[in-house]
Amino acid sequence: MIGDETKPEDFRNKRGGDHSHIKGWGVDRDPKNDPTYPMKHRTDEEIEGYTWERPEQQPVTVEVLKSVERPNIPAVFGNTVPPSGLSGALRRLAFKYSESSYGRWLPLVMADRIGEIEGIFEDLGNGHIPNLFAEHGLKSEWKYNRKNFVLKSAVTAAAIAGAILLFTRKKKD
Amino acid sequence: MNFRGPFRIRADRDRPFPEIEHPEDAIVKVIRSCICGSDLHLYHGLVPDTRVGSTFGHEFIGEIVDVGSSVEKVKVGDRVMVPFNIACGKCAFCKQELYGQCHEANPQSTAAGGIFGYSHTTGGYNGGQAEYVRVPYADVGPTVIPDWMDPDDAVLLTDVVPTGYQAAEMGGIQEGDTVVVFGAGPIGIMAAKCAWLFGAGRVIVIDQLDYRLEFVKEFAQCEVYNFKHLEDPVVFIKKITDSLGADVCIDAVGAEAAGDTMNTMLGRKLLMQGGSTTALHWAINSVKKGGIVSIVGVYGPIDALVPIGNVVNKGITIRASQASVKRLLPKMIEHVKNGIIDPKAMITHRIPLEEVGEGYHIFSKKLDNCIKTVLIPPSA
C-alpha cells in the first residue's frame, strides 16, 4: 500500500547518458530487432520520459479517483458516476493500492456488487420501480429460447414456493 | 443506455445531455453504435469498477453537433467515425502511434488507456450507446466518414476491423504460415480474414458455435473446427500441423472463454482471476516452438492463470495490444473501398436503442444466430 502523496519527481527515470565506462556497451545494437514493430514507431523522444507538452487540463469538478502509479490526473478524464455511498468508500480504499495488488481490484469488485444494490434503492427513491423483465432482455429469451425460458421460470417458481412453504411451516411449528 | 448491474440494462430518456468539458472536446450525435463482445464482459460484471449508472459503447459513429474552442480539424456537421481509444496525440505513447496506450486519458489505471463507455478502469467516460456522447481530443481520433462509405461499414471500422487486422499484424505472419484463430466472434472472424492479407498459407478457426463457424468459413474462406467435438483441441491442432504446431496463434476470445471448467469457475463465476484464460492456454500450447501468440481478446486487470513455463520453454513471442485504431484507419478505409474487406456482412441484428436490454441479451446468449448487433438511436 502506498500511503505517501507521490510527487512527479519521484517518477523520474534517471537513465544517465554516458556509458563509455562499460566495455562493449551497445556494440550489438540492432534497431530492427524490435518485436513491437509495426505497432510501435520508435521516435527520438522514446526515452525522454514524462516530458511531452501536455494538453490543457480539464477542470476537476467531481471526485476523480487516481491510480497511485501516476503523479497527476491526466489532461482529460471521464466525469461520470463519481464515487458515492458505501460503494464509493470501498472504491476510495481500493485506490490506495497499486494496480498490481489484489487490494486494488477485489474491493472494486465488491463495490460494484454493492453499487448494484444502492442502484435499486436509488431507483426506488426516484419513484422508479425497475422493470427486471425488460432490463434482463427477457422478451428476446421468450421469443428465441422459449423452452429454456419456461423451464427456468418453472424452476425459479418452484424454488420460491418451496422456500415460502418451508418458512411458513417453521413459523407454525 | 443505463447499466444497472450485471445482466441489467435499460434505456432511459432522462440521461443528462453531455457537455463540452475541455477545449478539445466535441459532442457527437450518434448515428450507429455496436455492442462489442468486450461489452459483454461489462454486462456480465467481469470488469472491476463498472459503476451502476454508466453508459457503455465504444464502437460508434455520428455527427458532430458541438465543438470546444481548440478544435480545428473537424467541425459541426461532420459525420465521423470515432476510434474506441481516447488519445491525446501528444504523449510519448501517442507519438509512437500507440493510440491504445495514451497516457493523458485515464486517471484510474496506468495499464489501460482511455476507452469510451468501458468502466472507470478505462477512464470513466460515457459511451456511444446513447443519442449524444462527449468525445475528447476531437482533433485526434474522429475521422470524417467518406461520402461513399456505408454507415454500417463505418461503425465497424471504429473497433472490430482494426482489432482483427492488428491481431493478424501482431502475428508477424510470413508467407505460407499456418494461423490458428481461437474464437469466431466478430474479432476472430476479421482476424481470420486479415490473416490472408499477410500471406498466410492456411487459416484455421476454432470455436464452439456451429453457426459462427459456418459464417467464418464462408466469410474468410478458412478451415473451421468445433472444439466441443474435439477430445483435446491442442492435440488436434498438433496433429493437423505436422505434430509441430501452428506458426501463429491468435487469441480472439479473451475473458469469457469456454472449454475448461477450472478456468470458467475461477475467471467467470468466482471472479478470482481476470477472466477465463482457456483460449490463451490453447494458443500457447498449440503454437510451434519459436512461434508467435497474438492476443487481442480482452482480459480484466486481475492476475490470470497462464502456462508461462511453456512460453519460456517453447521460446514463444507473445504480442498483445488494444488496437491502435487511428494508426490503422486509413488502411482499413482503403481495404473497404477496394472491396477487400466487407465489414457490414457481419451484422446480423439491427435493434432500436430503446431496446438495448434485448440487444445485450440476444448477443450474450447467442440467440437467433447473433454475430454482430448494431443499435440505432431514435434520432438517427
pLDDT of res. B338: 96
Q: Which residues of A touch B17 (CB under 8 A)?
A: none
- The number of helix segments (H) and strand segments (E) in chain A equals 5, 0
**CA–CA distance, B158 with B186 (Å, rounded to integer):** 13
pLDDT above 90 (res A42): no
pLDDT above 60 (res B46): yes
Q: Do B362 and A140 touch (CB under 8 A)?
A: yes
Q: Do A56 and B86 touch (CB under 8 A)?
A: no
pLDDT of res. A25: 85
CB B107 within 8 A of CB A75: no
Dihedral sign from CA coordinates of B111, B115, B120, B123: positive
Architecture of the CATH domain B163-320 = 3-Layer(aba) Sandwich (3.40)
Mean pLDDT of A20-37: 83
Neighbours of A151 (CB within 10 A): 11
Q: Which residues of B touch A64 (CB under 8 A)?
A: 107, 124
Read off the pLDDT band of B299 (50, 70, 90).
very high
Q: Chain A residue with minimal CA distance to B326?
A: A39
Residue A14 burial by Cβ neighbours in a 10 Å radius (0-12, 13-18, 19+): exposed
Read off the pLDDT band of A1 (50, 70, 90).
very low
Question: How much is the mean pLDDT over chain A?
Answer: 87
Does residue A34 sit at the B interface (CB-CB below 8 Å)? no
Amino acid at B331: K
Angle at which helix B325-337 crosses helix B160-170, to 10 degrees, equals 100
Residues of A numbered 56-115 whose beta carbons fall under 8 angstroms of chain B's beta carbons: which are they? 56, 58-59, 64-67, 69-70, 73-81, 87, 91, 94-95, 99, 102, 105-106, 108-109, 111-113, 115
pLDDT of res. A29: 84
Mean pLDDT of B129-152: 98
- State the smallest CA–CA distance between residue B146 and chain A in angstroms: 25
Give the closest of B4, B55, B111 to A119, CB-based: B4
**Among B300, B243, B247, CA closest to B271:** B300
**Among B169, B202, B219, B158, CA closest to B30:** B158
Read off the pLDDT band of B200 (50, 70, 90).
very high
Q: Chain B residue with minimal CA distance to A113?
A: B5
Q: Which residues contact B84 (CB under 8 A, 6 or more apart)?
A: B58, B59, B115, B116, B118, B158, B159, B322, B323, B325
Mean pLDDT of B176-197: 97
pLDDT of res. B37: 94
Q: Which three cell numbers stand for residue B325?
A: 485504431
Q: Which residues contact A113 (CB under 8 A, 6 or more apart)?
A: B45
Question: Which one has a higher pLDDT value, A51 or B279?
Answer: B279
Does the domain at residues B2-159+324-376 carry the CATH identifier 3.90.180.10? yes
pLDDT tens string B333-363: 999 999 999 999 999 999 999 999 999 999 9
Share of chain B above pLDDT 90, in %: 92
Amino acid at A159: A
Amino acid at B376: I
pLDDT of res. A170: 65
Ranking A147-161, B38-52, B141-155, B193-207 by mean pLDDT, the lowest is A147-161
pLDDT of res. A168: 85
Phi, psi of B320 (to 5 degrees): -150, 150
Q: Do B49 and A81 touch (CB under 8 A)?
A: no
pLDDT of res. A9: 65
**Among A30, A35, A147, A74, CA closest to B110:** A74
- State the smallest CA–CA distance between residue A73 and chain B in angstroms: 5
Q: Chain B residue with minimal CA distance to A73?
A: B107
Does residue B269 sit at the A interface (CB-CB below 8 Å)? no
Read off the pLDDT band of A2 (50, 70, 90).
very low
pLDDT of res. B201: 95
pLDDT above 80 (res A13): no
Question: How much is the mean pLDDT over chain B?
Answer: 96
Q: Which residues contact A141 (CB under 8 A, 6 or more apart)?
A: A148, A149, B361, B365, B367
pLDDT of res. A10: 65
- DSSP run (H or E) holding B196: helix B186-197
Counted across chains A and B, CB pairs separated by less than 8 A come out at: 200
Q: Which residues of A touch B271 (CB under 8 A)?
A: 109
Q: Which residues contact A65 (CB under 8 A, 6 or more apart)?
A: A83, A91, A92, A95, B107, B108, B120
Mean pLDDT of A94-101: 95
**CA–CA distance, A73 with A79 (Å, rounded to integer):** 12
pLDDT of res. A3: 46
Question: Which one has a higher pLDDT value, B162 or A8?
Answer: B162
Interface test with B, best of A34, A67, A135 (most B CBs within 10 A): A135
pLDDT of res. A159: 92
B79-82 and B60-67 strand pairing: antiparallel
Residue A23 burial by Cβ neighbours in a 10 Å radius (0-12, 13-18, 19+): exposed
Read off the pLDDT band of A34 (50, 70, 90).
confident
pLDDT of res. A22: 84
**Three-state SS letters, B95-147:** HCCCHHHCCCCCCCCCCCCEECCCCHHHCCCCCCCCCEEEECCCCCCCEECCC
Q: Chain A residue with minimal CA distance to B368?
A: A144
pLDDT above 80 (res A44): no
- DSSP run (H or E) holding B318: strand B317-320
- State the smallest CA–CA distance between residue A7 and chain B in angstroms: 15
pLDDT of res. B29: 98
Residues of A numbered 139-168 whose beta carbons fall under 8 angstroms of chain B's beta carbons: which are they? 139-141, 144-145
Question: Which one has a higher pLDDT value, A13 or B375?
Answer: B375
Kindly list the distances between the CA atom of residue B18 and the CA atoms of A170, B38, B55, B86, in Å, as whole numbers in the listed order.
54, 24, 12, 16
Read off the pLDDT band of A16 (50, 70, 90).
low
Q: Do B4 and A116 touch (CB under 8 A)?
A: yes
Mean pLDDT of B292-299: 96
